[in-house]
């Protein structure tokens, strides 16, 4: 379903004309109103009049998260604080949060792009949506809430966590749509199975999952466990929140549409900052073409992905591939770049291993080591009559030793790294309680 067909199918030449006009307006707007950008332009000797359109974007400097921290709390606002309708903050865990301000018009844009995303994900007016994203300073809860209202849906604003209540409402209210993080959707699916709640007691049809990278392995686990179709919604608070891009439920696995009339995307080399050609993997950079409260120019998201146009897609907007990892969170192990999503890609080859895993990174002397903890499926343990076996005893069984060795060999083939594999029983790997799940525990600082 298209929420805004005129824009979503706008011919590319007309879309480019719109983007060029909006970019020209943007650079003049921030130069006049935001001292940070005026200083950035002046330092490189750039006048706003030199920017004629998106082809000139590489002339403009990048903005990064440290710039937001340096201007905490309101130094990047382009309007007086009294004209800000809402303030959100990033979900960072260290130091002060990054602050984002929205005018009333920005909230309208936020609602529009989320409504487009919901429609692409299968939602229709009149459907009921159970919102398992956190409300408050995090953009997910209110972002999905306002977008669902704009689409004409009924919202159940549960917020994050409270698994017992989530399951009760899924059965009693019978919502059509679930929104939450992919790891929490896995938790709900697992709890349904554990409590022997039949899928027939639910009415779920679609799930829009985001706020953390996930893979096809997790998609299949969620879809099978909850009996629905799951799509990825992408966004970040610095740009607007969820609704920067979205998969179409009728085009599974083919990338997510970026709503590029509002957010112009680029892919750049993580080291040189050079713009990369269509299809190449690099750092996603976004420019907010229409925001007025706190617009950002060439914001480095640090998310690793690629961009491409899908000639078979129903929309003209560019698509982005799945997030492969973070440029600032990428692990470098013995000179090899490693994203934890690469482990998930290998996991999907093994039916007797679950998507519940964690990477433990350590340093022995001068050598970095990675240990992969992963749970064995209950199905296999039942078949071997080992449901109640302890973790210590697990590795003593030939079938499981062989499984561990084969998984380790595949990891080596696909990543170039030798990793120790430790098999776990059900429940040993941490689960999401509604928020983002930490897939990597890096203990190397202990040895620094």
Residue 213: is its pLDDT beyond 60? yes
Per-residue pLDDT tens for 141-159?
999 999 999 999 999 999 9
pLDDT at position 30: 98
pTM, full prediction: 0.83
Q: Which residue has the higher pLDDT, 261 or 138?
A: 261
Residue among 426, 357, 354 at smallest CA distance from 389: 426
Residue 392: is its pLDDT beyond 60? no
Torsion angle of alpha carbons 148, 154, 160, 164, nearest 10°?
-160
Q: Which residue has the higher pLDDT, 227 or 434?
A: 227
pLDDT at position 237: 93
pLDDT at position 126: 98
Confidence at 388, pLDDT banded by 50, 70, 90? low
Q: Give the pLDDT mean for 249-261.
A: 96
Lowest mean pLDDT among 35-49, 55-69, 266-280, 361-375: 361-375
Residue among 207, 198, 253 at smallest CA distance from 229: 207
Per-residue pLDDT tens for 164-208?
999 999 999 999 999 999 989 999 999 999 999 999 999 999 999
Q: 69 CB contacts (<8 Å, ≥6 apart)?
A: 95, 96, 98
pLDDT at position 218: 86
pLDDT at position 445: 55
The two three-digit tokens of residue 242, written as one number: 């969820």
State how far the Cα of 209 lies from the Cα of 231, in Å rounded to an integer: 6
Residue 448: is its pLDDT beyond 50? no
Residue among 234, 4, 217 at smallest CA distance from 119: 4
Residue 17: is its pLDDT beyond 50? yes
pLDDT at position 266: 98
Q: Which domains are seen in the chain, by residue range?
A: 1-326 (3.40.50.12780), 331-447 (3.30.300.30)
Per-residue pLDDT tens for 284-342?
999 999 999 999 999 999 999 999 999 999 999 999 999 988 887 678 787 677 878 88
In the numeric block, the tokens 């805004």 are attached to: 4
Confidence at 261, pLDDT banded by 50, 70, 90? very high
Q: Which residue has the higher pLDDT, 313 or 344?
A: 313
Q: Indicate the length of the chain as a whole number.
A: 448
């Amino acid at each position: 379903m298209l929420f805004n067909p005129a824009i979503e199918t706008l011919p590319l030449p007309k879309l480019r004309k719109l983007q060029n006009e909006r970019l020209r307006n943007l650079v003049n707007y921030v130069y006049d109103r935001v001292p940070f950008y005026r200083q950035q332009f002046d330092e490189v000797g750039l006048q706003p009049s030199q920017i004629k359109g998106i082809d000139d974007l590489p002339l403009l400097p990048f903005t990064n998260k440290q710039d937001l921290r340096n201007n905490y709390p309101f130094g990047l606002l382009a309007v007086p604080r009294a004209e800000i309708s809402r303030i959100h903050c990033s979900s960072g865990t260290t130091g002060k949060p990054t602050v984002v301000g929205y005018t009333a018009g920005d909230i309208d844009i936020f609602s529009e792009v989320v409504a487009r995303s919901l429609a692409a994900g299968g939602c229709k007016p009149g459907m009921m949506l159970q919102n398992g994203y956190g409300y408050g300073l995090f953009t997910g809860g209110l972002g999905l809430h306002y977008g669902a209202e704009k689409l004409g849906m009924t919202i159940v604003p549960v917020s994050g966590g409270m698994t017992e209540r989530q399951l009760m409402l899924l059965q009693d209210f019978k919502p059509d749509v679930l929104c939450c993080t992919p790891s929490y959707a896995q938790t709900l699916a697992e709890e349904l199975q554990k409590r022997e709640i039949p899928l027939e007691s639910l009415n779920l049809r679609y799930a829009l999952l985001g706020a953390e990278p996930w893979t096809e392995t997790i998609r299949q686990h969620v879809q099978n466990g909850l009996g629905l179709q799951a799509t990825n919604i992408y966004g970040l608070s610095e740009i607007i929140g969820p609704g920067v891009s979205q998969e179409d439920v009728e085009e599974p696995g083919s990338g997510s549409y970026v709503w590029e009339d509002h957010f112009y995307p680029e892919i750049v080399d993580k080291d040189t900052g050079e713009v990369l050609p269509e299809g190449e993997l690099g750092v996603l950079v976004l420019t907010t073409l229409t925001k007025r409260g706190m617009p950002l120019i060439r914001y480095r998201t640090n998310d690793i992905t690629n961009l491409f146009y899908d000639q078979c897609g129903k929309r003209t907007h560019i698509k982005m591939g799945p997030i492969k990892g973070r440029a600032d969170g990428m692990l470098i192990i013995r000179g090899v770049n490693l994203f934890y999503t690469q482990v998930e890609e290998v996991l999907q080859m093994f039916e007797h291993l679950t998507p519940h895993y964690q990477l433990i990174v350590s340093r022995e002397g001068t050598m970095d080591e990675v240990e992969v903890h992963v749970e064995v499926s209950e199905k296999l343990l039942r078949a071997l009559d080992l449901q109640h076996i302890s973790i210590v005893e697990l590795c003593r069984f030939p079938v499981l030793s062989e499984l561990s060795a084969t998984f380790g060999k595949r990891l080596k083939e696909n990543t170039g790294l030798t990793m120790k594999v430790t098999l776990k029983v059900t429940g040993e790997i941490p689960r999401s309680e509604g928020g983002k799940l930490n897939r990597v525990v890096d203990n190397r600082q202990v040895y620094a």
